[in-house]
């Protein structure tokens, strides 16, 4: 796979004297130039922090502010995060309304803290984002999903699915963007960042090959996921289909007819394994299995967060894809 170089978004030059927000006013370390070295910073959610740390290696470190067990999109930070980020060297985020808090923080940093490198990992892949045709808002549920209180419409009027990171090909491009941004912020280590990103891209090639193999060896081109579908990018990349009675929004509640249609599909296609989102309730998956010919459930991860169990096992993005998603998709699609 080929990856073009993308530049870091580091707009806003030296507006420190005016317009500084109250939440950042006390953070003079970054504004004053701080230490001469580059130590790292924050990334907006689990996957970005994992990628940034893999790219940085032992030359810098990045922190994920989102709690274990929570997903990054729709999340709301506490009042201290802006000040904490402003006192560091870099902030890695996605310029997506699904991460409105990160967009707001990036805008402030770019305007008032030009010594903080602001790196948009979506830079360069925006035109490849898939449309997401729903309004994603509402009250927080009990299934662990955070709910957005904003509309995920971009500046160009499009609504797009932000889960681009589940696609290993796009993931490699985004990692390359992070490496470019870190290299521009820390030129002395730019070559090391580029080398680390290239090595990581080779590991992502293995994930890409694994999903290609699933598509080639599957008994059927459809699997069932009992929850909202965060994997449209995998469907588009590899040509298989995930049927969900919920759709793409975690706020949608499936109707009885949608559940019945899903059960019928399970029986008609001879599906043994029903997939479900590890960060959501298992109730719908259990209902489908209990009322169909399916015999088991398998968890999949949208790779937007982590769990205590995965943390303890040292799972990063790669492990979630290779140890959780690949074997679950193999079972869901009937790979033999």
Query: Which CATH number do you get for residue 50?
Result: 3.40.50.1980
Task: Tell me the per-residue pLDDT of 34-76, one tens digit each, with 9 for 90 and over.
Answer: 345 899 999 999 999 999 999 999 999 999 988 776 776 666 7
Contacts with 308 (C-beta within 8 Å, 6 or more apart), sequence order: 68, 69
Please answer whether residues 24 and 86 qualify as being in contact, where contact means their C-beta atoms are separated by less than 8 angstroms: yes
Tell me: do 215 and 178 sit in the same domain: no
In the predicted structure, residue 109 carries a pLDDT above the cut 50? yes
Q: Read off the pLDDT of residues 288-321 as tens digits, 9 standing for 90 and up.
A: 999 999 999 999 999 998 999 999 999 999 999 9
* 29 is a domain residue: yes
Here the tokens at position 188 are 């002395």
**How many independent structural domains does the chain possess?**
2
Cβ-in-10-Å burial (0-12, 13-18, 19+) of 295 comes to exposed
**Structural domain containing residue 305:** 205-332
Does residue 164 sit in the same domain as residue 115? yes
pLDDT in tens, 181-192: 999 999 999 999
Q: Report the C-alpha gap between 138 and 150 in whole angstroms.
A: 9
At residue 156, the pLDDT reads 55
The answer on 168 and 42 residing in a single domain is yes
Q: Which two tokens stand for residue 31?
A: 């504004």
Query: Average pLDDT of 278-287?
Result: 94
Are 61 and 149 within one domain?
yes
Same structural domain, 259 and 286: yes
User: Do 26 and 70 fall within a single domain?
Assistant: yes
Residues ≥6 apart with Cβ < 8 Å to 29: 87
Confirm whether 76 is domain-assigned: yes
Instruction: Select from 152, 14, 171 the least CA-distant residue to 95.
Output: 152
Q: Please give the Cα distance from 131 to 223 (Å, whole number).
A: 21
| pLDDT at 4 > cutoff 60 | no
């Amino acid at each position: 796979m080929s990856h073009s170089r993308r530049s870091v978004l580091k707009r806003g030059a030296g507006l420190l004297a005016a317009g500084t927000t109250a939440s950042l006013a006390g953070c003079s370390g970054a504004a004053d130039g701080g230490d001469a070295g580059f130590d790292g910073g924050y990334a907006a959610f689990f996957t970005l922090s994992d990628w940034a740390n893999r790219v940085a290696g032992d030359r810098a470190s990045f922190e994920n502010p989102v709690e274990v067990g929570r997903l990054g999109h729709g999340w709301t930070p506490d009042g201290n995060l802006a000040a904490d980020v402003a006192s560091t060297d870099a902030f890695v985020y996605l310029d997506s309304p699904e991460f409105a808090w990160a967009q707001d923080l990036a805008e402030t940093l770019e305007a008032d803290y030009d010594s903080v490198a602001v790196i948009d990992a979506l830079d360069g892949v925006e035109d490849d984002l898939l449309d997401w045709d729903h309004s994603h808002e509402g009250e927080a549920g009990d299934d662990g999903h955070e709910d957005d209180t904003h509309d995920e419409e971009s500046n160009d009027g499009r609504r797009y699915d932000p889960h681009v990171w589940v696609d290993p090909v796009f993931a490699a491009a985004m990692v390359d963007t992070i490496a470019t941004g870190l290299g521009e912020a820390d030129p002395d280590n730019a070559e090391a960042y580029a080398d680390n990103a290239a090595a990581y891209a080779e590991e992502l090639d293995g994930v890409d090959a694994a999903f290609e193999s699933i598509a080639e060896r599957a008994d059927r081109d459809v699997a069932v996921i009992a929850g909202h579908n965060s994997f449209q990018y995998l469907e588009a990349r590899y040509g298989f289909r995930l049927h969900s009675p919920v759709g793409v929004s975690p706020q949608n509640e499936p109707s009885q007819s949608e559940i019945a249609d899903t059960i019928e599909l399970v029986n008609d296609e001879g599906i043994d394994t029903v997939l479900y989102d590890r960060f959501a309730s298992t109730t719908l998956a259990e209902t489908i299995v209990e009322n169909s010919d399916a015999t088991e459930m398998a968890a999949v991860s949208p790779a937007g967060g982590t769990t205590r169990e995965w943390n303890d096992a040292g799972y990063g993005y790669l492990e979630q894809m290779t140890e959780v998603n690949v074997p679950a998709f193999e079972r869901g699609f009937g790979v033999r």
